[in-house]
Each structure stands twice: as structure tokens, then as C-alpha cells.
Chain A
Amino acid sequence: MRVEPFDTSRHMEFTRRATLVTTGTMGLFGGIAWRLYDLQVRRHEDFRALADDNQFNTRLIVPLRGEIYDRYGRIVANNVPDFRVLVIPERTDDIKKTLTQLGSVMELSDRQITDVLDKARRQRSFLPILVADKLDWETYARVNFHSPDMRGVVSEIGASRAYAEDAGAAFVVGYVGSATTDDIERARRDAPTEEAAEKVELLYRQPGYKVGKAGLERTLDDQLQGEPGSVKVQVNAHGRVISEYKDSIVASTQGEPVGLTIDKELQATALKVLADDYGEYPDEALGPHPVSASAVVLDIVTGDVIVMASTPAFDPNRFSRGIEAKHWRELNESPLKPLLNKPVAGTYPPGSTFKLLTAIAAQEMGIPATKKHFCNGTFRFGGRDFTCWKKEGHGWLDMKESIKHSCDIYYWNLATEVDIDKIAEVAKRFGLGQTYDLGIGAEADGIVPSRSWKRAYYRNDPPNQTWFPGETLSVAIGQGAVTASPLQLAVMSARIATHKDVTPRLVRAVGSNLIPQPAFSELPGQPAHMSVVRDGMNAVVNEWGTAARSSLQPDFLMAGKTGTSQVVGLRRDPVTGRRLKNEEIPWQFRDHALFVAFAPYENPRYACSVVVEHGGSGSRAAGPRARDIMRAVLEKDPSNYDKHQFWSGKPTEPVEVAELSGGRRR
């Protein structure tokens, strides 16, 4: 072996260089170690906080909605456990197979399956998809039992809004629904801070969260919604909840309870009475149908709306769970207008019930109630003959008798002397032509015609029309342009009974506060003018007047006034020219039947109005219904504080609902 002569020098150089490289390397390792110290010791707290920011999030706990009670604290709207089934797509390899399995355990329509598959394609796979809710206990238990075998299926108990079926509450309380983009935008606008806006948006976007859509649910939404709670959760980089920290829970606060003035029981009675067949004329073209009618009962002293019934109605439970298009179309297209809140939104010519106001206006114009007019069945005005509803005529009548018999000719005579603007002023004073802000929306103004009204109404075609005396004739008997809602008629009746500015209200209590009872003040005008009108109303019912069959004697003395208002002009047989009776013409052309009343006569406490659309005659369709409703009201006497336990503003029985669960660690 040959000795390399040059090895020594390069070995020495290598040793030097290796030492150098080692030093450099160790220097770099020192740098790495320093960096570790920098990150893990010096700046540890900062990074710890950043890591916490990463992994912890706050999840909202949806609050329960405030309950709605009737005047005695019986439930009208509450929250019930909702058994539902969800699918979490990421937990199953084959969502179609999962749905097939689920379909063998519970009933699933093709529609539901396509909906779920559609959603699974569109949203992030860890978000649960609702397959079905409102399951009965047996189905829920069955799904629950089998869910361990079906990958991705989750059954849980949530809360959903339920409305008492017997309350007929649809129009009063309204209903709830999922928040739309508009709802979210509105809520964001109302939020005081940006942070609050974010929170409310998050809340509104929670699956299953509902906001008020109509009625009191909408008006009192702020009070009913409650405060969401929160819980600290651990999330991963994709935002999926990994675990919850139970000890960090801030419980949600249920919304405030709301107490209605409505008497649930009487409301149910009224609905039954309204829907009942009171010798109604059948109509072959329409087939059997429920009566389209409404009733309002007021407590005259407090203004409490005790009954506000409209029939036919809809089931708000179907709205709160999301109404099907078909059902909606049916409701929307029905001639009976089940979606219309008739007590406040339905306006009808008040017919003869308006004569009460004409009588008051006449007295205020200085016409004495004792002045008599003769009725021979025909009244000639402006070259035309107007016929009284009683062709044979009523003979000589004073004001009381004119009310009792509802003589048209008497009021046409008054109309020639009374100014239309005076009638309009009285009508408004007694509650027509205005809304009362009950908080359920949809209230209609109705029309109280006057000179200024006509000018405004016909401001375009042709402009500035003058009022013709002949028009006063129509208005004096509640025909022509004048219209009023059943609520307004009930208020009119209440104001005639007390001569006070009775104002209706629907809400007795919000939260634990009872809303103080309003004190009504005396109306302007002469209370003495009321007596003859009240006397006349008593005579209508109790002295063989037009509504003799509606008498509650001997138990109660109820005063009332019938009204039959034409929907179309006089209907005559095209061949013989004979005036046709209601039962001879199609339903939608028949007269509206109206009745207003107050009772007891001597010491009025309740005022009532009943309107039966196309019911024919006030004395036959509306009067008896009002009688039966008022009998129930008077017998129960819902304003008697000694007799009844009134709701104090505190909820009675809290409903236990399992907390809505999100994704958990598997």
C-alpha cells in the first residue's frame, strides 16, 4: 500500500473545516433553540390565546318563545317538544342508503327524500338536515331505537310553537315562521350595535328558530322572543363543533308571557255558534260550506275584547311548521276568505245598525226624538220612489219606534234635514272610520262618507265632486259608501251603551306587568240623546221589534239592533220583475246580516256585534247568533273579578324541552 504524500495537509485542512462547519451548524441549532424559547416561553401567552381563539367559539342557545295566555291564564300558544329526525351527511358514506333504511322505519315521501338529497348537495356536510319533524311519539321512539343501525341518522327533541286548537286563536295571536332575509335585515337594522346585529342574525339563522309573522306574534315579537343563551364550544378548523363546555353555559331566557283579554272558552263557543246552521239557505252552486261570519264581544268598562271570532279560520299550527303550497292556495282562493281576519279587516255596509247613529245625529241637529213621520211604504225623493223594507208601511212612528221597526222611510225623512257631515262626525265619534291598534295588524278603517271624503275619494275622476242630498238617504240607513268592521260596530254599540269613548284592547299583560285598565272619558255631546236610542234598541229585542226572536228574557235584558245590508242593488226576476228573496239568488249576492247589541240593558257591561256574510237577514242570521253568544257571555260574566281567577302575569307551568343539540364528537 502506497502512502499518500498529500494526505497530511488535506487532513489538517479537513479537520479545520469540519470544526468550522460544526461550529456553524451548532450556531444554527442555537438559533432554532432560541426560537423555540422565544415561541414557547417568551410569547407563550400570546400563542396560547391565539390557539384558544382558534378552537373556542360561542354557540347560541335558542330561547323559548314566551307563552300566550287567555285572560284566565289558560294556554293559547306555547312551546311543545318537537320530535324530529335529522341526517348528518358526513356521518354516512351513502346518504341514499341511509334514507332508504330510514324509510323502512318511518314513512318518508319521495318529496322529503329529494329535499334532503338536494340540501345535502348544497350545504356543508357536517350541518344536520331536517328530514321530518312533528313526529308522533311512537314513530320517534321507533326511529330512536333503530338509529344506531342507520349511519348519520340523528333523532332529537326540539321546541316548536303550538297553538291551542280550541282557542280559535289564528287571527288574534297570528303565527310564527322561519326568519326570511327581510326579517334578518330588519332585525339587523333595529340592533343598537354591530355586535348585536351579528348576534341577532346568528340567532335568526339557527335551524328551527321562528319569528312572529302575523298577529300578536309579530307585534309583540320583541317581548316574546326572549334572550338567547350561550355555551362555549370547541370547534375544529372547519367550524365543526367538537365538544361543548357544560360549565360555561349561560342559560337562555324565555320570552315574556303575554296575557290576552280573550276568553278562550267563550271564543270557542262563539266560533261554534257562528259556524252553526241557523236556518241558513242552502246554496246548490257552492255546496255545503261553513258560514262566513264574525263576532266581537267587548267588555264595555275595560275595553277588553273578550271574543273576537272569525269563521272559517285556518290552523296556525300549519303555518308555524311551514305551510304547504296546496293548502295555502286552497285558503287563498276560497270565497269564504278564511285568511281574512273579518272582525277587524272585513268591512261591510252597516245597514240598519247605522240608523242608531243617524238618530243621534238628528237629535244633535235639534230634531226631537218625539217627532213623528208617516211611513206608507214608499218615499219619493228627487223624482224617484224609494221603498221601505216593509212594503205595507209602518204608519206613524217616532224615533224609538223607528229603531224598533227599523223603518227606512223615517230615516229618509231625517236625511232630508240632517247634514251628511254631521252624520259623519257622529259616526266617527262613535267609533267608525278609525282603527284601534289592537296589535294584530290588518285593521281596516272602513268608510264614513262626508263631503271631504267624497272630494278626496273622487279627486281624479272627475275631480271635486259635490255631495248630492240623495246620497245622504243611502248613508242614513247604512247603505251606499258607508262601511264598518265588526269591531267598529261593537265599539259603536259600547259607546252608545255608556256614552264613553270605549277603546278595545287585546292584551292584558306583558311579562309580569298587568297593563293598567284604561279609564274611558265621557264623549262630547248630550248623554240624553242616548236614552231614546238605547230605549229603541231594547224595544228591538224585548218589545217585539225586528229582533224579537233574539230576546234573552227572562234571564237577561239585551238591547240590540238588526242590520241587513245589500251587497248588490235590488234584485228582480228578469221576466216578472218580482223582487227576489235572498234564498232565490246565489249566495254571493245575498244581503249581509248584521246585529249589534249590548247587555244587560240597565247596567251595560258587554257589547257585541255579529256579521254573517251573505246571511240574508239580520234578524234571522245574525240576531240569533248574537243572542246565543251573549247568553254564554252573560252567564259566565267574564269580567267579574270576584267570580273568576284572573291571570296575574306569571307563567303557570314551564314546558321542559330538551336543549337543541348540535354536532357532537362521535
Chain B
Amino acid sequence: MNAIVIEAASRSKIRRRLSELNVPLLFLLTAIAGAGVLALYSVSDGSWTPYAMPHGIRYALALVILVGIGITPLKFWLSVAYPAYFATLGLLLLVPLIGDVNMGAKRWIALPGLQLQPSEIMKVALVLALARYYHGLEFKRVNTIMGLITPLAMIAVPVGLVFLQPDLGTAILLGLSGFVMLLLAGLSWRLTVLGIIGAVGGAVFGLQSGLIKAYQWGRITAFLNPEADPLGANYHPNQSKIAIGSGGVDGKGYMEGTQSQLDFLPEMHTDFIFTILGEEFGLYGALVLLGLYIGVFFTALQIAMSAKSHFGRLLSMGIAVTFVSYVLINTGMVMGLAPVVGVPLPLVSYGGTVMLAMMGGFGLVMSAWIYRNQDTLRTSGFGG
């Protein structure tokens, strides 16, 4: 009898929580994934296979996961933040041991029916762990040495591991997310400047010592001089600039993009997917997509602002920044503003792990929204 009551109560609780879901966020994410399906359908010459259909199905599954994570109490996520971080770190460590080699880099772990890219999951796990850390840290201790060592180590270890895979793009994004988390937590401007100098110094050192490989450096610098090496490092950015530029204001029409449809851009379905949208839907289409991303950012910002817990705030904002940093680097990359570093356009590029990680991340944001009024959570652990 009692059990039935509890069960009924919990069922109604689930229903209540479902009704509290942030609908605009779900709508925006679904719209972005829809744009992805549209683009992937066009990439494969008007065919649901091999990309468009799996993309849609994956999104639907990821949406279920998002909702699942979202209705789980934020308190639970706070408690599993560190274990999740260490578990992901463990996966990252596994990559060099059992990972699949793809284009000269070990980034993947092959699971039955799924290729997992732990570095993408790490982006969410890092934000989660840093939010957890700062949640429990007294504000006055943020800029102390003792208060800085732990988060810097938490950032440095995965960044280093990913960099060694080697996956420069993800490493940079990971570092950037961590850095923004520190900033949001209240890192002093003096330390911020020092940090930037340190990062530049680290990059120079990496180059000098050969830690950054020649092809990586070639890609990094190529975008600064688009005329050089048009068939090599600059082939992709040049052709994608031509594609986007030739699209004009209103585009060439769906499935009519000459650059995309005539194979001038290979591997369209991953990092250069923005090109096909820019070519076929023009400036209008590209701005609509950017608008959707901005909408997601502001929704997450609003959630962060309405969260009563520091954990929820940092988490929402961190996920939002990570999300748009993908967008900014990817679109900058395909338009010749940023080096080609292998960053996908989230929810649009074909790829399971990124979608899973990002949707999982937004699940956490959703949880921060639904449990926004739980202002005081247990604060202990690292922050004491």
C-alpha cells in the first residue's frame, strides 16, 4: 500500500517535472538539429542515407537522454560531478591504449554500435566538475594559490591528454571552456592577463619543442594567408569560402549548391557542413542558424541567472559557452577566420559523440532549470 503511494507519488512527480521542462530550449535545439538533417540530406544528394536519417534518430535518442538528465535532481548531479569527471578522465587515458587510429590520431574508442570520443564528453565533464568545485569554494579563496591549483590541474590534465592524441581543436576548446569557467567563478583580472600570457608562452614553447606537429602548425597559420598552398592546407577553407560567398544573400536554392554537390568540398558532412547551408540558403539561412545558436545561448544564460545555486549557474553558463565556442570556431574556420582545427558544428555536423555530449550537457542545464529554486545544496569536499 505504502509502496503504491510512493510509486504513484513519484510518477506524478515525474509528470510535474516534465511539465516544468524549458520548452524554448528544447525547441531551439530541435530546430538546430533539424537544420542538420536538412543539410545532411542535401550532402548525400537528396538521400536519407547515409547521414540524414541516422542523424535524426540520434537526435531523438539524445533528446530522451536530455530529458532524463533534466528531470533528475540537480543535487544528484552535484554529487556525481567528480566521479563523472574521473570516469571520463579514465576513458581519455584508455584512448591511447585501445583507441582506433583515424587520420593519424587516436581519438576514438570503439564500442559495439558506437564510436566514442571521450574528449567530447570531457568538455561537459570538465564544466560539471569545475562548477562543482567552485560551488563549494569560498569566494575569497578563488584567487588564492591553494584555490587555483586544483581547478588548473583539473583543466590541464584532460587538455594535455587530448593534445597528445593529437586533437588540437578539442584541446583548445577544452582549455577555453575551463578558462571561461575560471572567469565566471571570479578569476582576478591580473591572473587572467597572466594566464593569457602563460597560454601564449605555452604555445610558443609547444612549437619550439616540436610538441605541435608541422601539419598542425601549417593548418593554424594557413588561414592567415589564403593565397598560399591552394591545393593543400588552404584547399578546404578556400573552397568553402567560395561556396559560402557564391551563395549570396538568398542562396542557390536547396540541393542546388554547385560547390557542395559537385564534390569540390570533400567530407562535407562533418566540419564543413555550415558551407552547404551558407551556399544553398545564403545569408538569410546562415543568419537564421546563427540566431538559433544565439537563442540557445540566451536561454541558457537566463537559466543561469534564475538558478539559486552557484553550481546551477556555473553549470548552465559553462555549457552555454562551450556550446557557442564550437559554433564560433567552426563558422570562423569555414569562413577563413580561424584555423582549420577540426571542430564540428554542434547538432548539425554528423557525429554521435558531440551530439550526445552536448545534449547531455543541456540535460544538466535543464536540471538546473527545473531545480532552479533549490538554492542551498550541500557544500563540502574540495571547497570545504
A contact residues around B184 at 8 Å (CB): 14, 17-18, 21
Complex: A33 Cα to B285 Cα, angstroms: 12
**When the two chains form their complex, are residues B317 and A21 in contact, meaning their CB atoms are under 8 A apart?**
yes
Q: Is the CB of A538 closer than 8 A to any CB of chain B? A: no
Q: Given A51-B242, A238-B263, A6 and B294 touching (CB < 8 A)?
A: no
Q: Which of A15, A28, A40, A236 contacts B245 (CB 8 A)?
A: A40
Q: Which residue of A lies closest to B335 (CB)?
A: A35
* B244 adjacent to A39 (CB under 8 Å): yes
Query: Which one of B109-117, B154-162, B297-305 is at the interface?
Result: B297-305
Within 8 A of B (CB), among A35-54: 35-37, 39-41, 43-44, 46-48, 50-51, 54
**Between A and B, how many residue pairs show CB distances below 8 Å?**
144
Contact B246 A29 (CB under 8 A): no
Q: List A179-235 residues whose CB lies under 8 Å from chain B.
A: 234-235
B36 close to chain A: CB less than 8 A? no
Digit string of B96-116 for contact with A (CB within 8 Å is 1, else 0)? 000000000000000000000
Taking the closest CB of chain B, its distance from the CB of A394, in whole angstroms, is 89
Q: Is B355 an interface residue when CB atoms closer than 8 A count as contact?
A: no
Q: Does A237 contact B (CB under 8 A)?
A: yes
Interface centre among A20, A21, A48, A51 (most CB of B within 10 A): A51
Q: Does A100 contact B (CB under 8 A)?
A: no
B196 part of interface (Cβ distance < 8 Å): no
Question: A47 touching B310 by the CB < 8 A rule?
Answer: no
Q: Find out whether the CB atom of B245 lies under 8 angstroms from the CB atom of A44.
A: yes
Contacts A35-B337, A51-B243, A54-B264 known; A40 to B282 CB distance under 8 Å?
Answer: yes
**B248 near A44: Cβ-Cβ < 8 Å:** yes
- CB neighbours of A4 from chain B (8 A): 376, 379
Q: Is the CB of A242 within 8 A of B245?
A: no
Report B348 CB to chain A, min CB distance, Å.
Answer: 15
The contact of A28 among B314, B328, B379, by CB within 8 Å, is B328
Q: Which residue of B lies closest to A13 (CB)?
A: B186
Tell whether, in the assembled complex, residue B332 and residue A32 are in contact, meaning their CB atoms are under 8 Å apart: yes
Check B247–A40 contact: CB distance below 8 A.
yes
Q: Is B249 an interface residue (CB 8 A)?
A: yes
Nearest A residue to B329 via CB reads: A28
Mark interface residues in B322-343 (1 if CB within 8 Å of A CB, else 0): 0010001001100101000000
The CA of A3 and the CA of B376, in the complex, are separated in Å by 7
Chain A's closest residue to B309 (CB) is A7
Report which of B140, B241, B287, B301 forms a contact with A33, defined as CB distance below 8 A: B287
Verify B283–A48 contact, CB threshold 8 A: no
B27 near A: Cβ within 8 Å? no
Q: Indicate if the CB atoms of A48 and B180 lie closer than 8 Å.
A: no
Interface: A26 (CB within 8 A) = yes
Q: Is the interface of A mostly helix, strand, loop or mixed?
A: helix
A112 interface hit (Cβ, 8 Å) = no
B286 contacts partner chain A, Cβ-Cβ < 8 Å: yes
Tell me which residues across on chain B come within 8 A of A48, comparing CB atoms. 245-246, 248
Q: What string of 1s and 0s marks CB contacts (under 8 Å) between B160-186 and chain A?
A: 000000000000000000001001111
User: A39 to B241, Cβ gap below 8 A?
Assistant: yes
- In contact, B262 and A44 (Cβ under 8 angstroms): no
Beta-carbon contacts under 8 Å, A592-636 to B:
none
In the assembled complex, which residues on chain B have CB atoms less than 8 Å from the CB atom of A43? 245
Nearest B residue to A2 via CB reads: B376
CB-defined contacts of A643 to chain B, threshold 8 Å: none
A40 with B283, Cβ < 8 A, contacts A21-B321, A25-B321, A32-B335 known: yes
Chain B: CB-nearest residue to A49:
B246
Contacts A2-B376, A39-B244, A236-B262 given; indicate if A29 touches B294 (C-beta within 8 A).
yes
Which residues on B sit within 8 Å (CB–CB) of A7? 310, 375
Interface residues of A in 420-461 (CB under 8 A from B): none
Which one of A1, A3, A46, A235 contacts B262 once the chains associate, using CB atoms below 8 Å?
A235
Q: Is there a chain A Cβ closer than 8 Å to B55's Cβ?
A: no
A512 at the interface (CB under 8 A from B): no
* A-side contacts of B134, CB under 8 Å: 10
Query: Would A237 and B263 be within 8 Å (CB), given that A10-B186, A10-B310, A51-B242 are in contact?
Result: yes
CB distance from A22 to the nearest CB of B (A): 6
Cα of A22 to Cα of B301 in the assembled complex, Å: 8
Q: What's the least CB distance linking A304 to chain B, in Å?
A: 58
B365: shortest Cβ distance to chain A, in Å?
14
Closest B-chain residue to A53, C-beta based?
Answer: B242
B132 interfacial contact with A, CB 8 Å = no
Q: Is the CB of B305 within 8 A of A18?
A: yes
A6 touches B262 (CB 8 A): no
In the bound complex, how far is the Cα of B377 from the Cα of A2, in angstroms?
Answer: 9
Q: Does A553 contact B (CB under 8 A)?
A: no
Q: Which chain B residues lie closer than 8 Å to A50 at the CB level?
A: 242, 245-246
**Any chain A CB within 8 A of the CB of B259?**
yes
Q: In the bound complex, how far is the Cα of B317 from the Cα of A50, in angstroms?
A: 41
A326 at the interface (CB under 8 A from B): no
Give Cα distance in the complex from A48 to B243, angstroms. 8
B287 in contact with A36 (CB, 8 Å):
yes
User: Which 4 A/B pairs are nearest by Cβ-Cβ distance?
Assistant: A47-B245, A51-B246, A236-B262, A10-B139
A-B contact list, 5 entries, CB within 8 Å: A11-B310, A14-B184, A14-B185, A35-B332, A237-B264
